[in-house]
Amino acid sequence: MTIEPGSLGAYLTAAEATATDAVALEEAGYGAIWLAASPAADLLVAERLLDATDRIVVGTSVLNVWQADAETIAAAYHRIAAKHADRLLIGIGAGHREVDAGYASPLAKVASHLDVLTAAGVPAERVLLAALGPKMLRLAAERAAGTLTLQVTPEHTRRARAALGPAKLVIPGHGVLLDTDVERARETGRARVRPMLGIANYANNLRRIGYTDKDLTEPFSDRLVDALVLHGDEAAVAAGVRAELAAGASQVGLHAMGEDPIGVLRAVAREARVQRAV
């Protein structure tokens, strides 16, 4: 059975995610919580959030294949799935050369993790791959339920959907900032994306979908920052979500910025409901 995670997802940092946050997001109408920042392979954080809630899906975005042992992941999956059938998704990814010791042959490394998970009985329809380029997207189409993407735009989502076909999950993630001062919001967004734009995998992917060296060079173009970080009022952010869904996203994962991220996520969910009703 394929998990249907709904059109809105919320990112929480694994080290800071609380049961209270999970309940609040479930009540706000979110379909999934994505645990960011390379959660541990034992999946104890995911288990705690699932234990505290009734219906929301919890997924990892993503388990780093250089750090998270595949056999440990498989054992944790079976432990949790026995209690929470159809509510756990395992996102795995190859990380980045700039930050992961031993980084080499990422496609082969992810494939070997998939081999272990498959042999241990983890269903392919419960596994997602962090995939940006054509080869990793092809692997996601062939051996997983779909893909989780970050630092992308609707154009990349269209390409991912074409590569994966209509039945797979395509879940892009965006930073979200409720601030109607455009210049201030852009500066906040620049600070958020600056570390990631120094990573070759992200920069090269953005070049593939039409951004130039000028866009990707400090201080980064307005059009790039606006595409990666949804900002403005609730209606503007909800419009950005709709653009991703129209491009083929199954769900859009939101990384809320600011002092009250749960409040931001609640406000965006309310506006999304209003716009759907209209």
Q: Which two tokens stand for residue 94?
A: 């190859």
What is the longest distance spanned by two Cα atoms in the chain? 52
- Pick the closest to residue 254 from 1, 28, 2, 20 (CA basis): 28
The span from the CA of 201 to the CA of 180, in Å, is 31
The span from the CA of 25 to the CA of 263, in Å, is 10
pLDDT at position 1 is: 62
Neighbours of 179 (CB within 10 A): 17
Q: Say yes or no to pLDDT of 3 above 90.
A: no
Of the chain, the percentage scoring pLDDT greater than 70 comes to 99
Q: Say yes or no to pLDDT of 254 above 80.
A: yes
Q: Say yes or no to pLDDT of 161 above 80.
A: yes
Residue 123: which H helix or E strand, with range?
none
Q: Say yes or no to pLDDT of 165 above 90.
A: yes
Q: Which two tokens stand for residue 189?
A: 């967004």
Is residue 51 within 8 A of residue 88, CB to CB? The reply is no
Q: Which two tokens stand for residue 198?
A: 């120094």
Is residue 117 within 8 A of residue 127, CB to CB? The reply is yes
- Residue 278: pLDDT band (50, 70, 90) is low
Mean pLDDT over 235-253 rounds to: 97
Q: Say yes or no to pLDDT of 130 above 80.
A: yes
In sequence order, what E strands does the chain have?
A: 8-13, 32-36, 57-60, 63-64, 88-93, 127-130, 146-150, 169-178, 229-232, 252-256
Is residue 242 within 8 A of residue 248, CB to CB? The reply is no
Mean pLDDT over 71-100 rounds to: 93
Please give the mean pLDDT across all residues of the chain.
95
Mean pLDDT over 54-78 rounds to: 97
- Pick the closest to residue 227 from 175, 182, 184 (CA basis): 175
Radius of gyration in angstroms for the set of CA atoms belonging to the chain, rounded to a whole number: 18
Q: Domains, the chain, ranges and CATH?
A: 8-277 (3.20.20.30)
Mean pLDDT over 31-43 rounds to: 95
The number of residues making up the chain comes to 278
- Residue 103: pLDDT band (50, 70, 90) is confident
Coil, strand or helix at 133: coil
Going by their DSSP bridges, the two strands 88-93 and 146-150 should be labelled as unpaired
Q: Say yes or no to pLDDT of 274 above 90.
A: no
